[in-house]
Amino acid sequence: MQDCSPYLCPCVLFVAPLQSTCFLTRSILLSPSIILPSADLNMASILQKLITPLFSGPPELPRNKVTVVGVGQVGMACAVSILLRELTDELALVDVMEDKLKGEMMDLQHGSLFLKTPKIVADTDYSVTANSRIVVVTAGVRQQEGESRLNLVQRNVNIFKHIVPLIVRYSPNCIIIVVSNPVDVLTYVTWKLSGLPKHRVIGSGTNLDSARFRFLMAEKLGIHPSSFNGWILGEHGDTSVPVWSGTNVAGVNLQTLNPEIGTENDEENWAETHKMVVDSAYEVIRLKGYTNWAIGLSVADLTESLIRNMNRIHPVSTMVQGMYGISDAVYLSLPCVLNGGGVASVVNMTLTEDEVSQLQESASTLWDIQKDLQDV
C-alpha cells in the first residue's frame, strides 16, 4: 500500500497516514465540495465574510407599518411620538417637498441607535406606503392665526382628492387617522373618497381637546390630569361640547358638589375652563406660529390603542348619523372603543338635554359647511 503524507487526525492525538485517519478527516481532505481558504475568499467583501445567509426568500412584510402623510410640524411630531412609543416596525414618510422629506428621513435614521424601529423610509411616491397598517394624514394648508378650522375646508379638500386614493391603492386594509383641519369635515371627506368602511376612517377629533380640558381642570384642582375624568365631544373646534355632567375625580361627580358647574349661574365660573380649551390652539399659534407637540402625542396615543388592540376608549371623530337625534351624515367626536380593527363601538353616554342640544348644534355647524363641498 502506497504511503501518503501524514496528517493530524482530530480523533487521535498522533500523526497518522491518510488511510488511518477518521471518516470526518478523510471527508474534509478529499471532498471536492469543501472549499479551503484561497485567494477567492480573500477577494470577498466584508459583508460576505461576516454574514452567512440562511434564508434567501423574499423579505418579510412589516406587521405594524405606520405611514405619516405630511412632514410639516404636526406630521413630524406625530412621527417622533410614534417612534418613541415603539409602536411600529417600519415608519414611512410621504410629502411633496422632496428635499425636506429626505432631510427629515435622514435626521430620524441618524437617531436609529436610540430607537426600536428597524426601518424608516420616505418618498414622494406613495408606493413607499405599501402594506401600512395605520396611515396618519397630516397634510394640508396650515391654519393661520385667528383662522377658524372650518375656513380651511375647501382648500384642504382639494388636496385630499389626490392623497386619499393613493393611500387606499397601496394599503387597502389600512386604518386611516385624519389629523388635518378641519378634522371632522376632512374625516368625512376621507371616508367618502376612500370607499373604506366607516370604522376604519377615524378623525383625531376631540382626543386633544379632552386632554387640554383634563389638564386645565386638574391644574385648578391640584391633581394630575390622569386623575380627573372629563370629556369634550362634538366638533374639534369652536362648537365643542364639555360634558359637565360626567366630570368626576375618584368617582366623585363634580356636578353633585356644584349643581351649577359649567353654567352661567356658576359663581366659580368653571365654564371659563372650556373657553380656554377652545382658545388654546389659537393662543399657541399666536405665540409660536403653530401647534404640534400635543397633537403629536395625542395621535401616538390613538395609534397605540389601534396597533396593540387595546379596546381603550377615546373621544375621536366617527360617523354619528342616527345618534343623539343627529340625522345628517357627519363625523363628530364621541367616546369610541378602539382596537385592532378600528372603531369597535361607541359608548352611549348619558347626557343632559342641554348637552344633547349642544351636540346637535355642533353637527349642524359642520353640516352647513359639508353640504356645500364640491367633488366629494
Does residue 371 contact residue 187 with C-beta atoms inside 8 Å?
A: no
- Asked whether residue 95 is marked as a ligand-binding residue, the answer is yes
Beta-carbon count within 10 A of 203 CB:
30
- Asked whether residue 246 is marked as a ligand-binding residue, the answer is no
- Asked whether residue 201 is marked as a ligand-binding residue, the answer is no
Report DSSP letters for 224-277, one per residue.
-GGGEE--EEB-SSTT-EE-GGG-EETTEEHHHH-TTTTSTT-TT-THHHHHHH
- Asked whether residue 374 is marked as a ligand-binding residue, the answer is no
- Asked whether residue 376 is marked as a ligand-binding residue, the answer is no
Does residue 214 contact residue 225 with C-beta atoms inside 8 Å?
A: yes
Lookup: cell for 201: 376612517
- Asked whether residue 356 is marked as a ligand-binding residue, the answer is no
* Residue among 162, 199, 224, 236 flagged as catalytic: 236
Which residues share a beta bridge with 356?
Answer: none
In order of 210, 241, 298, 328, the CA distances from 333 in angstroms are 10, 10, 14, 14
What residue has cell string 497518522? 16
- Asked whether residue 71 is marked as a ligand-binding residue, the answer is yes
Cα–Cα distance measured from residue 208 to residue 319, given in angstroms and rounded to the nearest whole number: 19
DSSP type of residue 200 = G
- Asked whether residue 64 is marked as a ligand-binding residue, the answer is no
110 is catalytic: no
SS3 content of the chain, % helix, strand, coil (to 5): 45, 15, 40
CB crowding 148-157: b at 16 or more within 10 Å, else e: ebbebbeebb
- Asked whether residue 70 is marked as a ligand-binding residue, the answer is yes
Beta-carbon count within 10 A of 317 CB:
31
- Asked whether residue 48 is marked as a ligand-binding residue, the answer is no
- Asked whether residue 222 is marked as a ligand-binding residue, the answer is no
Cα–Cα distance measured from residue 190 to residue 195, given in angstroms and rounded to the nearest whole number: 8
Q: Which residues are catalytic?
A: 236
Annotated binding site for NAD(+): 70-75, 95, 156, 179-181
Annotated binding site: 70-75, 95, 156, 179-181
